[in-house]
């Protein structure tokens, strides 16, 4: 299927919504793990209601249910890493780490598809390493935050590749529903370890405030039920890498919104922005190099 102009506008709108997730994560007072627990629960309930009252179905091809729920575990790890990155550093740092997702896709997609890795992709990977080195080398204050952000970039590459395969046989709402169940189970199973290690005073914070519920509802319904399902549906017509590459606009949106909302706490040293520019140049140059090497248009692959 060939993508339409409306598909590109829809993808752009989804990316804009996701650019606000790191900001929402900081507006919510409870820690990242508890936030992901509530987000995935509300998203699963919302998707279940949407499937029930729409023409979608809960049916999944035989043998795919466990795979989809397992992919949901990866989604859970992604969100915990992403929001924890913002909590231990700031939204800008978490978004930069997240931006490595397209380059992870460039390596992982050929691996799962049993295709050869192109030399220029390796070079771009090295350029990203240089960008990360620039960020670290000038008294960077948030190494753990950046490491968690990179982990979120790796995991989003993984589940995007898997979803591109699932959506060929299963409705996007159904995929999202079962993946949210998987993400909820992943987070719930992680709670005992989390409580004895990283939780504040070894206590879980499972009573969100009224404002927390408001922001979690936005995060669950708008940024998950709608945006996540829409992104999966778009994988029917857009390549995994093109979607991941386009998502590198998310850090730009997110960093601008974070500065507008939080002000001085989001402003970093000049080296941070130099390193960020290097990373974004690497990922945004990929389609030009891909087009030159293969002679094919990336979106229609």
Per the CB < 8 A criterion, the answer to whether 282 and 103 are in contact is yes
Q: How many CB atoms lie within 10 A of CB 57?
A: 11
- Separation between Cα atoms, residue 219 and residue 39, nearest integer Å: 7
Determine the longest span between alpha carbons in the chain, in angstroms: 57
Residue 200 DSSP symbol: G
3-state secondary structure of 78: helix
pLDDT at position 297 is 47
| Domain ranges for the chain | 5-202+212-296
Residue 118 DSSP symbol: P
- Write down the H helix ranges in the chain: 5-18, 21-27, 32-53, 65-88, 91-98, 101-112, 119-137, 143-166, 172-197, 210-217, 227-234, 240-246, 249-262, 270-294
pLDDT at position 136 is 64
Q: How many CB atoms lie within 10 A of CB 242?
A: 25
pLDDT at position 1 is 65
Per the CB < 8 A criterion, the answer to whether 83 and 145 are in contact is no
Q: What are phi and psi of 143, to 5 degrees?
A: -65, -40
Give me the tens of pLDDT residue by residue for the chain, a chain 301 residues long: 677 889 988 998 998 888 888 788 889 999 989 999 999 999 999 999 999 998 789 999 989 999 999 999 999 999 999 888 888 887 778 877 887 887 888 889 888 887 787 788 778 878 887 887 787 665 568 889 889 999 999 999 999 999 999 999 999 999 999 999 999 999 999 999 999 988 888 899 999 999 999 999 999 999 999 999 999 999 999 888 788 878 877 766 777 777 777 776 666 678 878 887 888 788 778 777 877 876 654 444 4
Per the CB < 8 A criterion, the answer to whether 163 and 157 are in contact is no
Per the CB < 8 A criterion, the answer to whether 100 and 150 are in contact is yes
């Amino acid at each position: 299927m060939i993508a339409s102009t409306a598909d590109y506008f829809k993808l752009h709108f989804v990316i804009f919504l996701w650019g606000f997730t790191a900001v929402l994560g900081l507006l919510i007072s409870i820690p990242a793990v508890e936030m992901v627990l509530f987000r995935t629960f509300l998203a699963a309930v919302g998707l279940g209601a949407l499937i029930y009252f729409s023409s979608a179905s809960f049916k999944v091809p035989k043998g795919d249910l466990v795979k989809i729920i397992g992919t949901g575990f990866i989604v859970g790890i992604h969100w915990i890493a992403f929001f924890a990155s913002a909590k231990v550093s700031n939204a800008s740092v978490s978004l930069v780490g997240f931006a490595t997702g397209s380059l992870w896709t460039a390596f992982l997609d050929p691996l799962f598809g049993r295709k050869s890795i192109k030399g220029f992709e390796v070079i771009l990977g090295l350029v990203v390493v240089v960008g990360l080195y620039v960020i670290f080398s000038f008294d960077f204050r948030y190494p753990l935050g950046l490491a968690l952000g990179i982990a979120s970039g790796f995991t989003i590459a993984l589940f995007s590749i898997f979803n591109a395969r699932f959506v060929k046989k299963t409705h996007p709402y159904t995929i999202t529903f079962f993946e949210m169940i998987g993400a909820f189970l992943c987070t719930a199973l992680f709670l005992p370890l989390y409580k004895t290690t990283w939780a504040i005073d070894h206590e879980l914070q499972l009573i969100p405030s009224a404002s927390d519920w408001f922001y979690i509802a936005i995060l669950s319904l708008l940024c998950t039920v709608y945006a996540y399902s829409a992104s999966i549906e778009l994988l029917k017509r857009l390549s995994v890498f093109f979607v991941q590459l386009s998502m590198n606009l998310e850090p730009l949106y997110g960093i601008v919104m974070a500065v507008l909302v939080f002000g001085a706490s989001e402003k970093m040293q000049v080296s941070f922005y130099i390193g960020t520019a290097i990373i974004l140049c690497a990922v945004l140059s990929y389609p030009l190099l891909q087009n030159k090497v293969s002679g094919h248009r990336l979106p229609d692959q």
